Chains A and B, each alone.
Chain A
Amino acid sequence: MSFEGNERRVRAFYESLAPGHREATRGLQSPHVVYDLPAGMPVAAGHFEGLDAVTEGFLASFYGALDVQFAVDEYIDGGDEIAAVGRIAGSARVSGVPIDVPFVHIWSVRDGYLQRLRAFTDTAVLSAALRSVRGDDSLLPAGATAPDFALHSSPSETLSLRALRGLPVILAFYPADWSPVCGDQMALYNQILPTFNTYGAHVLGISVDGPWCHRAFAEARNLRFPLLADFEPKGEVARRYGAFDPVTGENKRALFVIDKNGVIAWSYLSPIDVSPGADGILDALEQLPKEP
């Protein structure tokens, strides 16, 4: 019976979803597989076409943000359409907030391959779990490992924190490009770059503005250090550092000095309307252990 075969394919898919076996799910799906995900889905939402788009556009970021398993309670055999009903259980990787939400997946199976997925789940609960930051909103303190990230430093390039290992890094979270003062925080750091360089330190500005906005801003202000776009998912990196303001939807004004081993040496939260200057940064850089 082909119907039973279809259900078996879908069962095999969920059995292959266990960590380490996900590669096998590729062979069960058509290379032209289509995923339709709820618009409110955090991390990645909407319509994905083709196995590569699904893998890179959706699965990578989904499992990157969520450490979860799909546990199917029931399969409903509708012939060419098979419904899997169960729960998504696990936790959000960054916040550690536990997750346990129901899901329904409706699979269209043709010619022995999974062709289309229509997924339904409680996207609000998933979003909330991703938004929580360690149960409070305080900055990561000195001594904490600086969470790694890879963000756009220009429309075509990304920069990861890990790539700067071996040198101190100054991470400056700020609310938005184009603040209406000429000697603003980023322009000031640009001016002080030679001093920062005497410590071998890299400066990175981070806001939720997109890479094109950053480019225009950097060009207008002649900035010679990278501005990173914490743009999608919005403020994700800032959340990890406790530097996101969920009310304004922008970053707080927060400074971190990270030592050459990737450990936070100093962090500072400035009132949102007061540019913090560079005195604290230079003090922190001065106190880093000297090279032998």
Chain B
Amino acid sequence: MTLLRIPVGEGDHSQGPQNAPITLVEYGDYECPYCGAAYPMVKRLQETMGDNLRFVFRNFPITELHRHALSAAMTAEFGAAKGRFWEVHDELFENQRRLGATLYDTIATKFGLPTSELHDALERATYQERIRHDFDGGVRSGVNGTPTFFINGQRYDGRPEFEAMSAALGRVIESDRG
């Protein structure tokens, strides 16, 4: 059994109640098409599970394969620094095929974030260390590709599809009650 070694904490980007019975952690890459496919699936899980689910997203950019993965992650982290992580996160996945400077500017403008500061952060790679920290923690936890999900700290090796995942989440809730 492969376990999440970096516990979910203050520094994480998280949606849903902290005391939700289920915490779902995704290690993802904004350019990875499988993460793109998983994005609406996670939204649907959040809708159906409601307050039973806390969702955490951590960066795992496969930069060797995806040339925009790091810049996209840095843009999301810039959004986080301005308190708009999830808005930027969603826009990046919803426009996955257009990742790049133009899209980042559009997103920043949409949420009233100063593009000059964004450019500066991208140029100086201000958030690279944080992204690296996510990545390294993922590697040590057995992240084996993107997306990799952990359900209450245990790696989910099933298919990243709604039926399979909601069944897995349902089983965890059942066993907690039992």
Contact surface of A with B, Cβ cutoff 8 Å? 181-185, 187-188, 190-192, 195, 221-222, 224, 271, 273-280, 282
Q: What are 27 sample pairs from A and B whose C-beta atoms fall under 8 A apart? A: A182-B32, A182-B66, A182-B146, A183-B60, A183-B62, A183-B144, A183-B148, A184-B145, A187-B64, A187-B65, A191-B62, A191-B65, A192-B139, A195-B136, A221-B64, A273-B157, A276-B144, A277-B141, A277-B142, A277-B143, A278-B139, A278-B142, A279-B2, A279-B140, A279-B142, A280-B142, A282-B139
Nearest residue, chain A, Cβ from B5: A279
Distance from B35 Cβ to chain A, minimum over Cβ atoms (Å) = 9
For A187, the chain B residues whose CB sits under 8 A away are 62, 64-65, 145
Nearest residue, chain A, Cβ from B31: A182
B34 adjacent to chain A (CB < 8 Å): yes
B residues 26-43 near A (Cβ < 8 Å) are 29, 32-34
Tell whether, in the assembled complex, residue B157 and residue A274 are in contact, meaning their CB atoms are under 8 Å apart. Answer: yes
Tell whether, in the assembled complex, residue A182 and residue B64 are in contact, meaning their CB atoms are under 8 Å apart. Answer: no
Across the interface, A274 reaches (CB within 8 A) one of B66, B136, B144, namely B144
Distance from A245 Cβ to chain B, minimum over Cβ atoms (Å) = 19
Tell whether, in the assembled complex, residue A183 and residue B145 are in contact, meaning their CB atoms are under 8 Å apart. Answer: yes
For B143, the chain A residues whose CB sits under 8 A away are 188, 277
Please report the C-alpha to C-alpha distance between residue A30 and residue B136 in the assembled complex, in whole angstroms: 63
For A190, the chain B residues whose CB sits under 8 A away are 64
Please report the C-alpha to C-alpha distance between residue A167 and residue B29 in the assembled complex, in whole angstroms: 32
Please report the C-alpha to C-alpha distance between residue A279 and residue B66 in the assembled complex, in whole angstroms: 22
Please report the C-alpha to C-alpha distance between residue A26 and residue B118 in the assembled complex, in whole angstroms: 76
Distance from A199 Cβ to chain B, minimum over Cβ atoms (Å) = 13
Contact A191 B144, CB 8 Å, known A182-B32, A278-B139, A279-B139: no
Please report the C-alpha to C-alpha distance between residue A188 and residue B63 in the assembled complex, in whole angstroms: 10
Interface of B is mostly: loop
For A278, the chain B residues whose CB sits under 8 A away are 139, 142, 144
Distance from B61 Cβ to chain A, minimum over Cβ atoms (Å) = 9
For A279, the chain B residues whose CB sits under 8 A away are 2, 5, 139-142
Tell whether, in the assembled complex, residue A277 and residue B2 are in contact, meaning their CB atoms are under 8 Å apart. Answer: yes
Interface string of B1-31 (1 = CB under 8 A from A): 0100100000000000000000000000100
B residues 132-152 near A (Cβ < 8 Å) are 136, 139-146, 148
Contact A181 B62, CB 8 Å, known A195-B139, A279-B2: no
Central interface residue in A183, A190, A275, A282, by most chain B CB within 10 Å: A183
Tell whether, in the assembled complex, residue B145 and residue A181 are in contact, meaning their CB atoms are under 8 Å apart. Answer: yes
Interface string of B48-84 (1 = CB under 8 A from A): 0000000000001011111000000000000000000
For A185, the chain B residues whose CB sits under 8 A away are 144-145
Please report the C-alpha to C-alpha distance between residue A191 and residue B32 in the assembled complex, in whole angstroms: 14
Nearest residue, chain B, Cβ from A281: B139
Tell whether, in the assembled complex, residue A277 and residue B146 are in contact, meaning their CB atoms are under 8 Å apart. Answer: no
Tell whether, in the assembled complex, residue B139 and residue A221 are in contact, meaning their CB atoms are under 8 Å apart. Answer: no
A188-B62, A192-B139 given; 19 more Cβ-contact pairs under 8 Å: A182-B33, A182-B145, A183-B29, A183-B60, A183-B145, A183-B148, A185-B144, A187-B62, A190-B64, A191-B64, A195-B136, A195-B139, A221-B65, A224-B64, A273-B157, A278-B142, A278-B144, A279-B2, A279-B142
For A282, the chain B residues whose CB sits under 8 A away are 139-140
Tell whether, in the assembled complex, residue B146 and residue A183 are in contact, meaning their CB atoms are under 8 Å apart. Answer: yes
For B64, the chain A residues whose CB sits under 8 A away are 187, 190-191, 221-222, 224
For B32, the chain A residues whose CB sits under 8 A away are 182-183
Tell whether, in the assembled complex, residue B140 and residue A275 are in contact, meaning their CB atoms are under 8 Å apart. Answer: no
Distance from B172 Cβ to chain A, minimum over Cβ atoms (Å) = 19
Contact A222 B65, CB 8 Å, known A277-B2, A282-B140: yes
Nearest residue, chain B, Cβ from A220: B65
Across the interface, B63 reaches (CB within 8 A) one of A184, A191, A221, A224, namely A191
